[in-house]
Structure 1
Amino acid sequence: MTARYCSLPRQPAPAYAPGLAAERLGALVGGRRVWVNGTVLHYCFFDGDTDGSVIAVPGTGRTRWVSWGGAKEQQDVVRECFEEWRGLGTGLAFTEVRDRSEAELRIGFQHGDGSWSAVGRDALRAGVHDRTMNFGWDLTAPGERATALHQIGHALGMLHEHQSPDAGIHWDDEAVYAELAGPPNHWSRARTYHNVLRKIGPDEVNGPVWDPRSIMQFAFPPGLILEPEQYRGGVHPPGTLSTADKGFVLRWYPPADPPRTPALVPFRSVPLGLGPGEQADFRIDPPETRAYTVSVFGDGDTVVVLFEERDGEPRFLAGHDDGGTPSNATLAARLVKGRRYYVRVRLYSSWGPGETAVMCW
């Protein structure tokens, strides 16, 4: 029987100004979906009694209400998988909250709607009453824990491993379309192409080589892959986090060291000295309560995010991504004396002759 597969929703391609240098564009494409390191991702589960959607009943002209809630046993699988990713020692943290307005990740369990997730920061595009992740089948069934690990991988910014151009897979296209058109997936040709046959760009890959053991790799039965020859009998990933999966999250989200975070003092510019994909973190201890501005200077593409420490946890206040534009990221916020704030700056790439720097005032 064919496995049930993750069906990523389509997202509009980012619109960058024409004429960007290839190196600069590649850095933007590769880094746009990942979070700044040190982020606490808050997740919540939709309530089964009040949250759901109205769907059409095929062939009847009627509609019915479908719950987005999941039983505790289903939620517990997702909680355990968040803990497994967190246990790698990354600079990200996960916290469950009940208030959906405080959650970057909002999780539903609508059966029949497939399993999917927004990829990385694409979750921020969803409305506060919308799902950013869904589980469409029983996660407690044998082997289905991998589904939760897989969707969290997407939430961290990972894409499907079998779509890497480095895989060198030569598909029997019509066999793939036929396989996915049948049960239990019932996919259209467009959905199959988007999630299986389409190659992602070389700047979007999870790692430098194809990893058939990745949690982001689909299991495929025999008869779909023509080349490489050793995979004509199918691909059978173990459903666990591979060494390369762990490498991805530790590369983008290395362990953070908050006590050593340097201070960003008002009216004092600090050179960043970052390479592509690198990040600098600063703390702000406001000397007075007032409106402050935080800005990056120089010819570079950056993401800048401001957090306020609450109960020992950094909470998002403001963010600006200037990638692909001629302007620099600038934030404005009211900071309160006696509270601590964190500024995190991630560089896509530098495209000018000068140094990049950050300052608050």
Structure 2
Amino acid sequence: MFDDLRKIVFQIMSNERYNQICRILAAASEVIYIPELPESTYRVCDSLQFNLLGLTKRQIDQFVQRTAKRGLKIQVFGRSDNARYFKNWKYSFDQPPRLDKTEEIISCACDMRLSLSFDKDDINLIGYIIKDVAYGLIREGNERKGCRHSFQDYKNGLTDSFKGLDSVISKYEEWATYYDEEHRKNGWKSLLNYLAYKLSTYLNINSKILDVGCGTGLLGQELSAYGFTKLYGNDISKSSLDIARKLDSYRGLYQAELGQPLMLDSNSFDALVSAGVFTRNQVPLNAFDELIRILKPKCLFSVALRVEDNDSYYKKIEEYYAQNILEEVLRERIRVLRSCEHEIVITRKF
């Protein structure tokens, strides 16, 4: 009786961890694919198998090496160190068979153990590391394709500053059609993955979060991957919001102009998060007032700022520190793009 109960508990816990890691990696579907099960079969969820998409043999080797340096042991089925590699099996004939198609498939198929001792925080960290390494390899691969010295983060460049609201709207309406593809290639998703993971260490998954300037929903996908279910978003671009609505990440999306009154109740959000919005003079400084109004006391406002903006937005945040409206929780730099550097700033409302 006791043994049966223990087996049931083991299976439930294994399934929870397996589903959690699958959800986290789903945000990186352009490079990570977890095969679906055939009918009439079930998983033994003490390990994870996934395929790396679009990477060369050299990049797959780098993936294994870089994840290993960060504490993850991931094996590739088509490598001599994996016991499941068919060339390691014993046959009744002298030479193993030549199976070119099999070799092709297993050359990018990865295998990783999921220990029952892993808790939810461990799984979040494992998922973060896998995606961070994969996103970095995509960026490096695109740099090589475009010649490292001539590679540009953005094919049409970035506007240094905007003359007014109409120019901001025009830029993002046009950009929406290829925004996601460009940011998958240039490394921006590394920052979004880090920001979402970082927030998972501060917030619980039931926190009501507003993605400020959510755009096409890339950050929302990463937040959803780490288990956040009460996500809302606003943006000035209708075309971007139309794309975001196709995702299964947000409970609500609406068009809004930052710097103007927001049709939201005061003290109604557990957290605010924003990336790639407060930059290049595209949002007025007074936008912070309304955002602070809708944030609950003792709750977090996290923003990614561009270092090259010379602290124009951070200096405004410092004014709220001096007025005892906000206090700083974290400020750290992160570089994922070649053209500029960013810093993550997390504040708490008094």
Alignment TM-score, normalising by the size of structure 1: 0.22
Higher strand share: 1
Higher helix share: 2
Query: Relative contact order (alpha carbons < 8 A, sep ≥ 6): 1 or 2 greater?
Result: 1
Alignment TM-score, normalising by the size of structure 2: 0.23
